[in-house]
Amino acid sequence: MASSSHRRPRPERRTRRVPVVTVVAVAAVALVVSLVVAFRPDGGSETGADAGARTVEPAAGAGVSGAPTATGTTGSPSPKPKPSSASPSATAGRASTPAATPAGASGSSGGRSAAPAARTASGAAPSAGRIAPGTAYRGIATSYDVGNGDGACSYGPTSDVMTAAMNTADYETSKACGAYVLVRAGSGASITVRITNECPAPCEAGQLDLSRQAFAKLAPLSAGRIAITWSLLSPATSDTISIRYKTGSTQYWCGIQAIGHRNPLARLEVRTSAGWTRLARTDYNYFLSEQGSGCGGALRLTDIYGEQLTVEGIAVRANVVQSTRVQFARH
């Protein structure tokens, strides 16, 4: 038995005659209808200006911006700025230091004169070495007997016992000499000391060898070694910088030392017929003029912040501390 189908059986075809008049009438009606459709205002395909006259509605759910989209000469939307792909780099063991903005600076020049090149904003230290401002260093504190207070920095005997010896790595060929550092212990106690000496191996990077008096303000001497953090200071002071020529100095050879500077000294220069000449620094904190160039002439001192001070009128007087009227700015 055949299966049922969804198709219906075709009806039996029958032949019918259609009068000619009827055919003509139908054709006439069809012609009239075609003409009406062709001449309708909205009839036919859209071309020319009419093709873009319609307003296209946004699809359901599409976001519509209320602000106009800028276009270029081609009519295509301008590309949005891409986010920067640069990632910040970290310095191992040191906290990052934000870039400083000069005090009083504004986003517009506004006719203001630029700050002198010799002085930079607080926090910026273009000449800083291993010890940079605004950075906290971790290390170990130990103690030693400072004796008469003299040390590798060659400042000579002193009654000031709030001093410390810097490890060789951070001493950096006497660049740390004269620096004031704030030292904090885990207990919360803190002290300020001045670097006057070097602590050679086995002192390690980050370590400070404090005077016994300074160490005792942080922990009992019996503790021996304690964990600390320390950072550079630019302290308040009414003192001015002094200059000392080394023993044996003459106009033909001299060693020059700066004493009492508020901020660490980055370089010392002498004025010669060829201009300013930078002197080499020794690990005992003197700047040497091996050929005598500039000995007894004008000096230019630069701190780690880039500030420059010019000193004149300092004669070659060996081992005599001669005062100046200048001091680096506080940061």
Degrees, nearest 5: CA angle 16-17-19: 145
Q: How many other β-carbons are positioned within 10 Å of the β-carbon of residue 35?
A: 8
What pLDDT was estimated at residue 330? 97
User: In this structure, are residues 117 and 295 in contact, taking their beta carbons and an 8 Å threshold?
Assistant: no
Helix and strand totals (H; E) in the chain = 3, 15
What pLDDT was estimated at residue 101? 30
Sheet containing strand 254-259, edge to edge, reads 280-281, 287-289, 254-259, 242-245, 321-323
In whole numbers, what is the pLDDT of the chain averaged over residues? Answer: 74
Q: Which helix (H) or strand (E) holds 196?
A: strand 190-199
What would the pLDDT profile of 164-181 be if each residue is shown by its tens digit? 999 999 999 999 999 999
Q: Is the pLDDT of residue 88 over 80?
A: no
State the average pLDDT over residues 98-104: 32
User: In this structure, are residues 97 and 123 in contact, taking their beta carbons and an 8 Å threshold?
Assistant: yes
Sheet containing strand 275-278, edge to edge, reads 275-278, 265-272, 299-303, 308-311
Q: Is the pLDDT of residue 262 over 90?
A: yes
Q: Which residues of 10-24 are buried (b: 16+ CB within 10 A; e: fewer)?
A: eeeeeeeeeeeeeee
17-31, 145-159, 162-176, 214-228: least confident range:
17-31
State the average pLDDT over residues 72-91: 31
pLDDT band, very low/low/confident/very high, at 9 (cuts 50, 70, 90): very low
State the average pLDDT over residues 61-65: 34
Q: Is the pLDDT of residue 28 over 90?
A: no
Q: Is the pLDDT of residue 52 over 60?
A: no
What pLDDT was estimated at residue 126? 78
pLDDT band, very low/low/confident/very high, at 295 (cuts 50, 70, 90): very high
User: In this structure, are residues 319 and 245 in contact, taking their beta carbons and an 8 Å threshold?
Assistant: yes
pLDDT band, very low/low/confident/very high, at 256 (cuts 50, 70, 90): very high
Q: Is the pLDDT of residue 46 over 90?
A: no
DSSP-assigned beta bridge partners for residue 267: 302
Q: Which helix (H) or strand (E) holds 192?
A: strand 190-199
Q: Which helix (H) or strand (E) holds 34?
A: helix 20-38
Place of tokens 């001070």: 309
Instruction: Kindly provide the residue ranges of all beta strands, DSSP E only, lying in 212-264, ordered along the sequence.
Output: 226-233, 242-245, 254-259
For the entire predicted model, the pTM comes to 0.64
Which of the two residues, 126 and 283, has the higher pLDDT score? 283
What pLDDT was estimated at residue 184? 98
Q: Rounded to 5 degrees, what are φ and ψ at 310?
A: -105, 130
Secondary structure of residue 93 in the 3-state scheme: coil
Report residue 51 as tokens. Answer: 């093709």
What pLDDT was estimated at residue 54? 32
State the average pLDDT over residues 184-197: 98
Q: Is the pLDDT of residue 284 over 80?
A: yes
The answer for residues whose C-beta is within 8 angstroms of residue 120's C-beta and 6 or more apart is: 100, 102, 126, 305, 306, 307
Residue type, 54: R
Query: Which range has highest mean pLDDT (19-28, 59-68, 190-199)?
Result: 190-199
Place of tokens 């500077």: 261
Residue from 196, 297, 181, 194 nearest 249 by CA: 297
Measuring CA to CA, how many Å separate 80 from each of 41, 87, 300?
43, 20, 51
State the average pLDDT over residues 128-141: 95
Secondary structure of residue 306 in the 3-state scheme: coil
pLDDT band, very low/low/confident/very high, at 78 (cuts 50, 70, 90): very low
